[in-house]
Amino acid sequence: MPMENTTLKNPRNKSKAHIRFELRAGKQVAVKDYSSRRGVIKLYGRFTLTNEARAYARLSGAPGIPACYGFKSRDILEIESIPSRPLSSFKPGAVPAEVFKKLEQVLAVMHSRGVANGDVHRSNVLVTDSGEVYLVDFAHSFVARNPKKPGLLTRRIMELDLHALARIRARYLRLPEPYPQGVFGFLYLALSSLKKGFKRLKKVLFI
């Protein structure tokens, strides 16, 4: 990422925040901004930003998790910007296995603090030039009231995080794709169908 004030390309749809990078005391900050949105989209943005800030607060100081600098306004959240590349910019076979071990460690610490990300995918996994791994975007995360005793839904989402890791690892290391088994497999397929339906609905409502 360039060390200058920049704005990313327009979001895929109107439900997404505008994201820009700003310099603060020589450091770059990622700014998620819903201030230009209106109506139900702005309310949705406030909910997701609040949810994200809550997750970052629980994960403060955890390895592989950027710092959250808090709200600039009700509709603007500022997060540490990590100089890195998203995993999605790498081709299969071009990522060392150590990257996935580090991502597994990030997830382990995250889950131990009672947080399930629920949206672990290649664009949300950042890899630095030195091979460090960060996970970003907690807009749809689940945060357990008691980290030592997460509820049933949060535990299922944690399983979803681990399955996403297994799929990503298999893709980049050219391994057989894992198939969800048992009760989790049933729930995974059902949740995947719901997620696809929700994405279609958002396209209809928010494009």
What tens digit of pLDDT does each residue of 117-164 get?
A: 999 999 999 999 999 999 999 999 999 999 999 999 999 899 999 999
Query: Region 156-179: what's the mean pLDDT?
Result: 93
Using CB atoms within 10 Å of the CB of residue 97, give its burial: 0 to 12 exposed, 13 to 18 middle, 19+ buried: exposed
pLDDT band of 179, cuts 50, 70, 90 = confident
In a domain, 40, yes or no: yes
Can you give the pLDDT at residue 199?
A: 60
User: In terms of Cα–Cα distance, which of 69, 167, 152 is closest to 116?
Assistant: 152
Q: Are strands 115-116 and 76-80 parallel, antiparallel or unpaired?
A: unpaired
Q: How many C-beta atoms surround the C-beta of residue 188 within 10 A?
A: 19
In a domain, 16, yes or no: yes
In a domain, 37, yes or no: yes
Query: Region 176-197: what's the mean pLDDT?
Result: 69
In a domain, 85, yes or no: yes
pLDDT band of 190, cuts 50, 70, 90 = low
Higher per-residue confidence, 14 vs 124: 124
Q: How many C-beta atoms surround the C-beta of residue 116 within 10 A?
A: 27
pLDDT band of 1, cuts 50, 70, 90 = very low
In a domain, 198, yes or no: yes
Q: How many C-beta atoms surround the C-beta of residue 117 within 10 A?
A: 26
* Number of folded domains that form the chain: 1
Q: Work out the angle at residue 128's Cα, subtended by the Cα atoms of residues 5 and 140, and round it to the nearest 5 degrees.
A: 75
Higher per-residue confidence, 153 vs 193: 153
- Structural domain containing residue 68: 6-206
Residues 6+ apart with CB under 8 A from 58: 113, 114, 115, 143, 147
Alpha carbon distance 77, 33 (integer Å) = 7
Q: How many C-beta atoms surround the C-beta of residue 126 within 10 A?
A: 21
Q: Read off the pLDDT of residues 46-105 as tens digits, 9 standing for 90 and up.
A: 999 999 999 999 999 999 999 999 999 999 999 999 999 999 999 999 999 999 999 999
In a domain, 129, yes or no: yes
In a domain, 1, yes or no: no
Q: How many C-beta atoms surround the C-beta of residue 45 within 10 A?
A: 26
Query: What CATH number did the domain enclosing 78 receive?
Result: 1.10.510.10
Rounded to two decimals, what is the model's pTM?
Answer: 0.84
Distances in Å between the alpha carbon of 33 and those of 88, 129, 141, 147, 193?
23, 28, 18, 29, 29
Query: Region 180-200: what's the mean pLDDT?
Result: 64
Q: Work out the angle at residue 100's Cα, subtended by the Cα atoms of residues 198 and 157, and round it to the nearest 5 degrees.
A: 35
| 61 phi-psi bin (left φ>0, alpha ψ -120 to 50, beta other) | left
